[in-house]
Amino acid sequence: MPSTASVQLRNDRRRALSNQPHPLRRLDPLAVVLSCHRNQEICSEGRPADHWYCVVSGVARRCATKCDGRRQILGLLLPGDFFGFTAHEEYDFAVEAIVEGMTIASYPRRRVEALADVEPELAREIREVAFETVSQLQAQLLILGRITATEKVASFLLAMAARSSADQSDKVLLPVSRYDIADCLTVSVETVSRSLTDLKHRGLISLLGTRTVRIVDREGLAEARLNCH
């Protein structure tokens, strides 16, 4: 039997969910909203994939740990992004919270699928969300396919700018460390740092704080993505 405090907490979280616009409002009644600690593993590679998730607030990373101990981040998950989809019975990859106190909505997969069987509209929305994941993965593939490290970093900045801020501000808040960016782009931390100072010296960006980038020359930055030496 839940205490008054925990019920209050749950209500707060439910409210947080309804404030945040997200693609599957239809599923709100089934959602359980969870708060996560920094570096907490939300779902683990190889574990039964019995839940789907949606980021409500904060940022998470989908990561693969290679046998040599290195980590690759397959993609960052921002508010509104779904994860936990898999073609198999187990999760393909782990997802870890990056921001302390980030919140996620958790949906029991079987119940959602049962609901989708009787609500074609929901089934369509789930397809949309899955297709959105496909698009994001393809975009990430394009970034990794760039030639120079500076191109990758420039792409990363523009992608973050496009995804994170609904407003057309030229300020981009990087919610992750240089290490996370490095693992995202599969380059070394030092190279990320050097690329950022490179872009700064070329007058394309300026660093307000270490994690706040101001895009000075958006055009130039977009060109820098594509092989500008």
Partner DNA sequence: CGTATCATTGAGCTTAGTCAAAAAGTGTGG
Partner DNA sequence: CCACACTTTTTGACTAAGCTCAATGATACG
Interacting residue ranges for a copy of itself, rule: CB under 8 A: 64, 66-68, 70, 72, 74-75, 85-88, 92-93, 113, 116-118, 120, 123-124, 126-128, 130-135, 137-138, 140-142, 144-145, 147, 186, 226-227
Q: Which stretch binds DNA (CB under 7 A): 88-96, 125-133, 181-189, 217-225?
A: 181-189
And the tokens for 165? Answer: 């801020």
End-to-end CA distance of the chain: 64
Q: Which stretch binds DNA (CB under 7 A): 49-57, 88-96, 107-115, 193-201?
A: 193-201
Q: Which of 81, 191, 204, 221 binds DNA (CB under 7 A)?
A: 191
Q: Which of 8, 44, 165, 186 binds DNA (CB under 7 A)?
A: 186
Q: Given the structure tokens 């405090």, which residue do they identify?
A: 5
CB 99 within 8 A of CB 41: no
Interaction of residue 157 with DNA, rule CB under 7 A: no
- C-alpha distances in Å from residue 111, one per residue of 27, 42, 106, 118, 134: 10, 20, 12, 11, 23
CB 198 within 8 A of CB 150: yes
Q: Which of 136, 140, 150, 155 binds DNA (CB under 7 A)?
A: 150
Q: What is the DSSP string of 141-165?
A: HHHHT-SSHHHHHHHHHHHHHHHH-
Using CA atoms in the order 13, 84, 179, 212, what is the torsion angle rounded to 10 degrees?
Answer: -40
Site for DNA in 125-144 (CB under 7 A): none
Interaction of residue 188 with DNA, rule CB under 7 A: yes
Nearer to a copy of itself, 41 or 132 (CB): 132
Interaction of residue 207 with DNA, rule CB under 7 A: yes
Which three-class secondary structure state does DSSP give residue 59?
Answer: coil
List contacts with DNA (CB under 7 A): 147-150, 177-179, 186-194, 196-197, 207, 209-211, 229
